Structure 1
Amino acid sequence: MSIKPRTRWARYLWASTLAMALAATLYTATVRAATAPSPATAVGLVTRDKVALRAAPRESAASQTLLWRGEALEIRGTKGDFLQVWDHHRERGGYVRTTQLMRVAGDAAEAPQLLALMGFVSEQPGSEPLGLALAAAAIQALPAAALQGSQGAAVMDAIGRQAERLAERATAGAGRADDPLLTAHLDVARRHGVQLVTREQDGRMTVCYEGDAFRRLLAMPAASAEQKARAALALTRAECLEPPARLADREALDAGLADLLARADAPTLAPLWRARLATRQAEVWSRIAYARAQRDSADTARSAARQAIDAIGRIEKSELVDDDLARFHAAAVRVNAVRWAAALAVPATGRLTITTRRADDGQTCVALRDPKAKADAPALAERCSWGQVWAASAAPNREGTALALAVQPVDGWRELWVFRKDAGGWSVQVLPPAALQPGTGYAEFAGWEPGGQRLLVAREAIAEGKTIRRFEVVKVATLTPERTAFDAEALGPFSRWPDAAWKRESLALR
């Protein structure tokens, strides 16, 4: 049997049509209404949480269920201080106090009021389901032309922002699965068509908004520069992307993200938003640079690394708030880890040189050689890695007893290899950015002390959400720090003997 909704507003709520494609992100389920059409009916939005749906129009009547803000009910009549309603989701009728519902007619005359209410509620943390319901009502009330204009863009922006905020609440409450308020709000948002997904990265679970409203917003010519920037940033969050299994697919994904960010980077953007976009661009281009270097495309890797370095250079730290500053430092760490991709190959000089070769199993093997020895002489030492060897970083000491080399085993994590000579011959030791599982960080050569027995090292890593940066004077024989400071100027050797290229190009001194 064909069952028809009772009102024009109900037709929007419970039917998906081509003319209401924008509203499909909010209401996609087809719901049944089992009564004849009546012009007197309307829709009410629940305005608070834990509203009792009572069996009769009095406070003493039994509560049949609890309703939550943002739920839509069909209003079928009035009895005293109560409204008689029908809940199409639960297929149950009852009575709700008049003060606990907001009537919505869904006509054009109501649109300005709905947009004003949506703008206000959208800024109230914890009111996301009601804000989504008001956005749906605004979509119903606005003419088709207005939906393609600035008003429609404002609605899409409000939907995306509230869905993101709800996802953040869900992430923060991941360990409290029994939170009835959060569970109810997620259920109401899901009924409005908001899709949330869960991603896992480094053992941490993140709930993310799927992003449909933001993608629609980016396709709207009437959207403002700030709205497009916010949408682009939301759609390019690394923790909310599903990483492809193949490196080539990840590079293609990042290339698409870089293009999206470039299109959102408008000259009219406020400095804060331009800095936010540049931070994300630096992060994305650093990943692209590493991927291209891994497939032996030195020229394109160099171009990508320069894009990342340029993006970091455009950021004015004074424009950033605390949260943005943390993201800036995280991006700078990632860019610094891959900065050697931007370096041009230079002829080897000094008493020690290195050569690289590709092993049969795909590893890159680094051989330490004496340039004065015969061409067929065996290497002084050799070590292989599955990661990226930055040959341009090789820095021998003047005495010819040690050489420092940057090697990046995985994206975002750069180690320092130190070839050294002792009484037993040559050996290779590895100095990581921190005593952690590989994540984001770098350990880099910053200079040699006279005599070649001590090495200046800058190390930085992100641990437990914090960026830890330190400068060390390291004993070459054991790779143990003899002196450590959080500021390079606090260590005399960093003022007297820093490597000129390191001081000029490293982001450790940002």
Structure 2
Amino acid sequence: MPATLVALAAAAALNTAIVTTDRAVLRASPRDSAPQQAQLWQGEVLEVRGERLDFLQVWDPARERGGYVKATQVRRSALTAAEAPELLAVLRFLREAPGAESLGIAVAAAYLQAAPAETLRGADGAEALDALGTLADRLARSASEGAAAGRQATLTAHLEVAGRYGVKFASHEHDGRMRICYDGDAFRRVLTLPATPQQKANAALALTQPECIDPALQPLQRHELNAWRAEVLERVDTTGLPAHVKHRVALRRAAVWSTLAYERARLAETGSGAAAERALGELASVRPGELTDDDQAAYHDAAIRVNASRWAAVPAVPGVAAGTRPAVLTRPGQPGETCVLLVDAKHDAANPLARRCTYALVWPQSASVNREGTAVALAVQPMEGWRELWLLRQQGRQWAIDVLPPASLQPGAGYAEFAGWVPGGQQVLVAREARGEGKYRRSYEVVSLASLATQRQAGEPGALGPFQRWQDAEWKRMSVAVR
């Protein structure tokens, strides 16, 4: 990253010192009792002008002032090619040292300045950039997690130090919290170098974090970004990767491809079905027993998102009313709207049994009619990763259309889906799973068609007799709710 190392380049000929401790003091003279000029943080770079006693006389380019600093609080470097292997060794250690991110970023920058160009284009250059990206990403995560007040001041200073080396961060709101994200420049460079599969996997996972997508992006911009995320993940060769890393890549791919399935269908693009099938395949390749504890949340989140968009993998067929049994048709409404029409042999699209319009994505291929012909279940997806269940119910001579959401939460990720009809026309089986507002829940329910109240529920379908006897065969075959 030569363009980001102006300060180091200018200091190279004069000898450079990197501050190694937090709250190091820049003093006016080489005495512990001398007035304090500034407080320094690990990773800051200084130009060495001379030595006095156990102090170094330095120039601080960031503050444009000189002074003296304890020689034990800095690491001196000439930034020569001969010193590059030693700097890389230090960087390897700091990469695995939480809390020393800004210092590690400074050492990475020093190595990139000192190493010859041909070295930077090889495996050592990829390793250094991988370490730089890892340190920057970890620093952003630490700053996002809301450390205690005393630690927050240190993290803010470390972010400022990293910024002086050209490391850029952005802030986004995610699930009601501010998230600081690294822009990923070093990781992008790793993907262009002869990096190891592990390094490319690290880079791809860091670059495709869903928490770092700008919520202000317009739909087309978001679609282009998700297509790019899928392309980045495709560059990772998972052959030979440790099982848990391979599964992390598969989970991220599943989540991204499920999003593309929804977006392609929403934009009336081709390939929605292929994207949904890819998402289902990636999720199916994951073995839950080989996941780490830290990956469990990502596994459930990917499963929710894949299941929310899985109807894209099923070809749509025109609804046809057979006798007195109802069928679902869709027609365009106002710009951007889809209208759901319930028809039968006596009620056509011009005079439907029921009608409701929505800006959500309607999956007509999901429509299921109960044996009595008095209720219809329909999957409707208002946003990526969030699918609702519409129940069309006959009440006397009229039909009503009601919505069962995945949960009574601010929409995050979730689905509510039809799982089977209980004979008698009084009950429907529903599976729900949702994550949002810091909560996660999965349940299987027996719902009354008269009141839509949950009459019985359990955390496993086998715990409910109606689920054992009446669950829909197609639901059991296609859904990932049971896993």
TM-score (norm 2): 0.94
Q: Which residue of 2 is the match for residue 308 of structure 1?
A: 279
Q: 2:74 corresponds to which residue?
A: 101
Looking at structure 2, the residues matched to 378 and 478 of structure 1 have their Cα atoms a distance apart, in angstroms, of: 26
Shift of 1:424: 5.5
Query: 1:358 aligned to 300, 323, 332, which one?
Result: 332
Task: Point out where structure 1 has 5 or more consecutive residues left out of the alignment.
Answer: 1-21
- Look up the match of 2:173: 200
What's the counterpart of residue 284 of structure 1? Answer: 256
1:323 corresponds to which of 255, 280, 294 = 294
SS of the aligned residue for 1:48 comes to coil
Match of 2:243? Answer: 271
Aligned residue for 1:85, secondary structure, equals strand
Q: Share of identical aligned residues, percent?
A: 51
Is 1:359–1:365's contact at 8 Å kept on the other side of the alignment?
Answer: yes
**Counterpart position of 2:3:** 24
Alignment match, 2:111: 138
Between 1:392-401 and 1:72-81, the stretch displaced more is 72-81
Check the 8 A contact 1:265/1:277 in 2, yes or no.
Answer: no
Check the 8 A contact 1:31/1:88 in 2, yes or no. no
Alignment partner, residue 293 of structure 1: 265
Task: Render the CA deviation track for 1:392-417: whole Å, top value 9, x for unaligned.
Answer: 11111101111111111222111111
Distance 1:177 1:51, change over 3 A: closer
User: 1:65-84 residue pairs with structure 2 within 5 A?
Assistant: 65-84=38-57
| Alpha-carbon distance change, 176 to 81 in structure 1, aligned in 2, over 3 angstroms | closer
Partner of 1:481: 454
Which residue matches 1:17?
A: none
Q: Partner letter of residue 161 of structure 2?
A: V
8 Å CA contact 1:330–1:467 kept in 2: the answer is no
Whole-angstrom CA distance in 2 between matches of 1:268 and 1:122: 23
Contact 1:43/1:75 (8 A) holds in 2? yes
Q: Tell me, in whole angstroms, the C-alpha distance in 1 between the residues paired with 2:267 and 2:472.
A: 30
Deviation at 1:464, TM superposition (A): 2.5
Letter in 2 for 1:237: Q
Structure 2 contact 19–40 (Cα < 8 Å) conserved: yes
Aligned residue in 2 for 1:250: 222
Aligned to 1:13: none
Deviation at 1:203, TM superposition (A): 3.3
Q: Is the 8 A contact 1:461 1:467 kept in 2?
A: yes
For 1:392 and 1:318, the matched residues in 2 are separated by: 34
**How many correspondences in the alignment?**
480
Render the CA deviation track for 1:432-451: whole Å, top value 9, x for unaligned.
Answer: 00112332110000011110
Question: What is the identity, as a one-letter code, of the residue corresponding to 1:379?
Answer: P
- CA distance in 2: counterparts of 1:108 and 1:28, whole angstroms: 18
Give 1:256 deviation, angstroms. 1.9
Shift of 1:373: 2.5
Mapping of residues 120-269 of structure 1, within 5 Å:
120-173=93-146, 179-220=152-193, 222-242=194-214, 245-269=217-241
Contact 1:366 1:383 in 2 (8 A): yes
1:418 corresponds to 2:397:
no
Once residues 469 and 255 of structure 2 are traced to their aligned partners in structure 1, the CA distance between those partners, rounded to angstroms, is 33
In structure 2, the partner of 1:110 is 83
Indicate the residue corresponding to 1:463 in structure 2: 436
* 1:342 to 2:313 alignment: yes
Distance 1:87 1:462 in 2: 49
- Partner Cα separation in structure 1 for residue 88 and residue 211 of structure 2: 32
| Conserved 8 A contact 1:31-1:89 | no
User: Hey, what does 1:369 align to over in structure 2?
Assistant: 343
* 1:376–1:505 CA distance, 2 compared to 1 (3 A): closer
State the Cα deviation string for residues 91-116 of structure 1 (Å, max 9, x = none): 22222222111111222222222111
Deviates more, 1:106-115 or 1:241-250: 241-250
Aligned partners of 2:144 and 2:180 also within 8 Å: yes
Which residue identity does 2:300 align to in structure 1? H
Deviation at 1:201, TM superposition (A): 3.4
Residues 43-93 of structure 1 show CA distances to partners (whole Å, capped at 9, x for unaligned) of 111111111112222212222211111111112222222222221211222
Amino acid at match of 1:328: Y
Partner SS, residue 69 of structure 1: coil
Counterpart code for 2:298: R
C-alpha distance in structure 2 between counterparts of 1:28 and 1:459, whole Å: 55
Structure 1 residues 253-277: Cα deviation after superposition (integer angstroms, max 9, x where no partner):
2222211111123423222222111
Instruction: Give distance in 2, aligned partners of 1:42 and 1:376.
Output: 81
Contact 2:7–2:61 (Cα < 8 Å) also in 1 = no
TM-superposed deviation, 1:465: 3.1
CA contact (8 A) 1:489 1:495 kept: yes
Summarize the Cα distance change of 1:67–1:295 in structure 2 as closer, same or farther, 3 Å threshold: closer
> SS of 1:265's equivalent?
coil
AA aligned opposite 2:137: E
User: What are the superposed Cα offsets for residues 332-383 of structure 1, whole Å, 9 maximum, x if unpaired?
Assistant: 101101111111235657622111111144311111122x326577211111
Q: Which residue in the other structure is 2:424 paired with?
A: 451
Q: Is the 8 A contact 2:143 2:155 kept in 1?
A: yes
Q: What is the root-mean-square deviation of aligned Cα atoms in Å?
A: 2.2
Return 5+ residue gaps in structure 2 as ranges.
none
1:91 matched residue in structure 2: 64
Higher deviation after alignment, 493-502 or 77-86 = 77-86
Give the whole-Å Cα distance in 1 for the aligned partners of 2:267 and 2:74. 60
How far did 1:250 drift? 2.6
The one-character-per-residue Cα deviations of 1:106-127 (angstroms, maximum 9, x if unpaired) are 2222222211111101211111
Cα distance in 2, alignment partners of residues 52 and 245 from structure 1: 43
* 1:333 maps to 2:304: yes
Provide closer, same or farther for how the CA distance between residues 54 and 360 of structure 1 changes in structure 2, counting only shifts above 3 A.
closer
Distance (Å, rounded) in 2 between the aligned partners of 1:99 and 1:28: 25
Question: Aligned-pair distance for 1:196?
Answer: 0.6
